Structure 1
Amino acid sequence: PSITADGKTLIYTSRRPDNVGGKYDFNAECYFDDIYISKWDEQKQDWAPSKNIGAPINTDFHDANMSISPDGNTIFIYKNIDGVTQSGDIFFSTKSPTGEWSEPKPILNKLINSSYFESSACITADGNTMFFVSEREKDGYGHGDIYMVKKEGNSWGIPTNLGPVINTPYDEIGVYIHPDGKTLFFSSNGHKTMGGHDIFMSYFENGKWSEPINLGYPINTPREEIHFVLSTDKRTAYISSNREGSIGDYDIFKVDMTDYFRTNKDIPTNVSLAITGSTLTIMKGKVSDANDSKPIKATLTFKDVIDNKTYVTESNENGEYFITLPSDKRYEVSTKAEGYKPFTLKFKVPRNDELDTPSLIKHFLLNKE
Structure 2
Amino acid sequence: MKNIITIYFSLFFLSVNILMAQEKNAAKEGNKEFEQLAYIDARESYLKAANNGFTSDLLLKNLGDSYYFNADYKNAAKWYGQLFEYSTTVEPEYIYRYALSLKSDEKYLASDRIMEKFYETKGEDYRANLFINERNYLEEIELQSGRFELINVNFNSELSDFAPSFYKGNIIFSSNRNNRGVTKRVHDWNEQPFLDLYKLNTFDEKNTNTIKFNSDINSIYHESTAVFTNDGLTMYFTRNNYTNEDYKEDKDGTNKLKLYRAKREHTETTKWNIQELPFNSDEYSVAHPALSPDEKTLYFASDMPGTKGLSDLYKVEIKDSIFGKIESLGNKINTEGRETFPFISKDNKLYFASDGHIGLGGLDVFVSNLEQNKIGEVFNLGRPINGPNDDFTFIINSTTGIGYFASNRSGGMGDDDIYSFKSIKPLITKCEQSINGTVLNAITDQPIPNSTVYLLDENNNVINEKTTGVSGNFNFVLDCSKTYSIRSTKETYLPAEKVFNTPNRTGVVERTLFMKKEQELPAPLGTDIGPLLGINIIYFDLDKHYIRQDAEVELRKIIDFMNVYSNIKIDVRSHTDSRNTSEYNLDLSNRRAQATIDYLVNVGGINRARLTGKGYGELQLRNRCGDGVPCSESEHQLNRRSEFIIVK
TM-score by length of 1: 0.64
Of 351, 355, 374, the residue aligned with 1:189 is: 355
> Which structure's residues are more often strand, by fraction?
1
Matches within 5 A, 1:45-56: 47=207, 49-56=209-216
Secondary structure of the 1:121 match is strand
How far apart, in 2, do the equivalents of 1:39 and 1:208 lie? 36
Q: CA deviation at 1:21?
A: 7.2
How far apart, in 1, do the equivalents of 2:372 and 2:309 lie? 26
Structure 1 residue 18 corresponds to structure 2 residue 183: no
Aligned residue in 2 for 1:126: 294
Q: CA deviation at 1:64?
A: 1.8
8 Å CA contact 1:69–1:125 kept in 2: the answer is: no
Aligned residue in 2 for 1:347: none
1:110-144 CA distance string (max 9 Å, x none): 3x557311121111232211101111122x21111
How far apart, in 1, do the equivalents of 2:231 and 2:208 lie? 20
Name the amino acid aligned to 1:237.
G
Secondary structure of the 1:93 match is strand
1:62-84 CA distance string (max 9 Å, x none): 22233233433333221121455
8 Å CA contact 2:237–2:260 kept in 1: the answer is: yes
Secondary structure of the 1:248 match is coil
Aligned residue in 1 for 2:406: 240
How far apart, in 2, do the equivalents of 1:209 and 1:99 lie? 38
Structure 1 residue 30 corresponds to structure 2 residue 192: yes
Matches within 5 A, 1:73-92: 73-80=233-240, 81=242, 82-83=246-247, 86=250, 87-92=256-261
Secondary structure of the 2:201 match is strand
Aligned residue in 2 for 1:100: 270
> Which structure's residues are more often helix, by fraction?
2
Name the amino acid aligned to 1:141.
K
Q: CA deviation at 1:58?
A: 0.7
Matches within 5 A, 1:59-208: 59-80=219-240, 81=242, 82-83=246-247, 86=250, 87-97=256-266, 98-107=268-277, 109-110=278-279, 115-138=283-306, 140-180=307-347, 182-208=348-374
Q: CA deviation at 1:48?
A: 5.0
Q: CA deviation at 1:208?
A: 1.6
Name the amino acid aligned to 2:325.
I
Matches within 5 A, 1:33-44: 33-41=195-203, 44=205
Q: CA deviation at 1:27?
A: 4.8
Q: Unaligned regions of 5+ residues in structure 1, if any?
A: 271-369
Name the amino acid aligned to 1:57.
I
8 Å CA contact 2:175–2:198 kept in 1: the answer is: yes
Secondary structure of the 2:202 match is strand
Aligned residue in 2 for 1:304: none
TM-score by length of 2: 0.38
Matches within 5 A, 1:274-353: none
How far apart, in 2, do the equivalents of 1:178 and 1:133 lie? 17
CA RMSD of aligned residues (A): 2.4
- Name the CA shift for 1:104/1:164 in 2 (closer, same or farther; >3 Å): same
1:286-305 CA distance string (max 9 Å, x none): xxxxxxxxxxxxxxxxxxxx
- Name the CA shift for 1:73/1:113 in 2 (closer, same or farther; >3 Å): farther
How many residues of Structure 1 are paired with residues of Structure 2 in the alignment?
Answer: 259
Name the amino acid aligned to 2:197.
I
How far apart, in 1, do the equivalents of 2:372 and 2:346 lie? 19
How far apart, in 2, do the equivalents of 1:238 and 1:85 lie? 33
1:186-242 CA distance string (max 9 Å, x none): 000000010010000000225421111000001101110121000141511201101
How far apart, in 2, do the equivalents of 1:21 and 1:211 lie? 47
How far apart, in 2, do the equivalents of 1:210 and 1:155 lie? 28
Secondary structure of the 2:261 match is strand
8 Å CA contact 1:240–1:253 kept in 2: the answer is: yes
Q: CA deviation at 1:61?
A: 1.8
- Name the CA shift for 1:16/1:133 in 2 (closer, same or farther; >3 Å): same
Name the amino acid aligned to 1:65.
T
Of 409, 412, 417, the residue aligned with 1:251 is: 417
1:268-326 CA distance string (max 9 Å, x none): 389xxxxxxxxxxxxxxxxxxxxxxxxxxxxxxxxxxxxxxxxxxxxxxxxxxxxxxxx
Q: Unaligned regions of 5+ residues in structure 2, if any?
A: 1-162, 251-255, 433-648
Larger Rg, first or second structure (1 or 2): 2
Q: CA deviation at 1:147?
A: 0.6
How far apart, in 1, do the equivalents of 2:357 and 2:202 lie? 35
How far apart, in 2, do the equivalents of 1:10 and 1:67 lie? 10
How far apart, in 2, do the equivalents of 1:79 and 1:144 lie? 17
1:164-184 CA distance string (max 9 Å, x none): 00000110011111123x210
* Stretches (4+) displaced over 4 A: 83-86
